[in-house]
Chains A and B, each alone.
Chain A
Amino acid sequence: MIKGNLYKLASLSFSDAGYVADVDLLPGSEIFKAHFPCKPITPGVCLVQIAVEIASVIEKRNLTLAEAKDIKFLSVISPLEHKSVRYELSKMDDEGKWVVCIYAGGQLCSKMSVRLCNV
């Protein structure tokens, strides 16, 4: 789990549109020093891991990423420019299919269609 290391979950709510979570990045994380030493960039795979961890909180069980139909990274997120990142998560069916959109500064940075299953 990278919660507490890379980020903290600031809020999580549910509406007709699905779940909305606000995540605060922790710029002092060792991950930002390693990726990359010349400029901190949130690793795309950490954006994916955060989505799995938020879905696990929503479902109240530990989930793992079993399949990804598609994961797009449209723009990078630097913790120096954007400390707060918004996740919009929609559970599409009972087979574990989720669609997740990630925004920083109001801009769509990543979109993923994945299947999560029990650990």
Chain B
Amino acid sequence: MTSRSVKITDIIPQRKPFVFIDSLLECDESSAETSYLIREDSIFTENGVFQTPGLIENIAQSAVAKIGYISKFIEHDKVTVGYIGNVHHLIVKRNPEVGETIHTTVIFGENIAGIQLCEAVVRVGNEIIAQSSIKTAQDASMPVDD
């Protein structure tokens, strides 16, 4: 099975309407790439523009999707709830609009005591629209039921 064909809610703990990635396009040990079509009816769309907190959540869910994919399909373990611990040096050049598809690349850095550091870049086509560092933590005490 390739990551592209995986149902996103099988690998992340969030449920609609709080899902801000559509597909896990690429996934390996050190990186992941997701896509997401900006929708009019999204919680974070205002006047046709996807707001920055939605971009942060998209980045976090991109990281969590990679962790969940490895847990579920490589290690055959449970997907667990994850939290954002820290957002660092976020710069938004512009917010994407309804109808645009964003592609988010997350590069995984060091993992210290369960805290995963990631560097993320969000693009529309070849245009970089946002970038940030983010730290996430998994809560193994809260597995998500299938």
Contacts and interface: CB of A to CB of B under 8 A. Distances in A.
Nearest to B57: A45
A36 B14 contact: yes
B52 A65 contact: yes
Interface stretch (A17-25, A66-74, A97-105): A66-74
Range, interface on chain A: 20 to 34
Given A31-B43, A33-B15, A45-B57, A38 B86 contact: no
Nearest to B82: A36
Contacts, number: 96
Interface stretch (B30-38, B66-74, B89-97, B101-109): B89-97
Nearest to A5: B43
A44 B81 CA distance: 13
Interface residues of B, number: 35
Q: Is the interface of B mostly helix, strand, loop or mixed?
A: mixed
B142 interface: yes
A49 B45 CA distance: 12
16 contacts: A1-B46, A2-B43, A36-B14, A36-B142, A37-B144, A41-B81, A46-B53, A49-B51, A52-B52, A65-B90, A65-B92, A67-B92, A71-B87, A73-B85, A73-B86, A119-B46
Interface of B: 13-19, 43-44, 46-47, 49, 51-54, 56-57, 60, 81, 83-92, 95, 132, 142, 144-145
Interface of A: 1-2, 5, 30-31, 33-39, 41, 43-46, 48-49, 52, 64-73, 76, 119
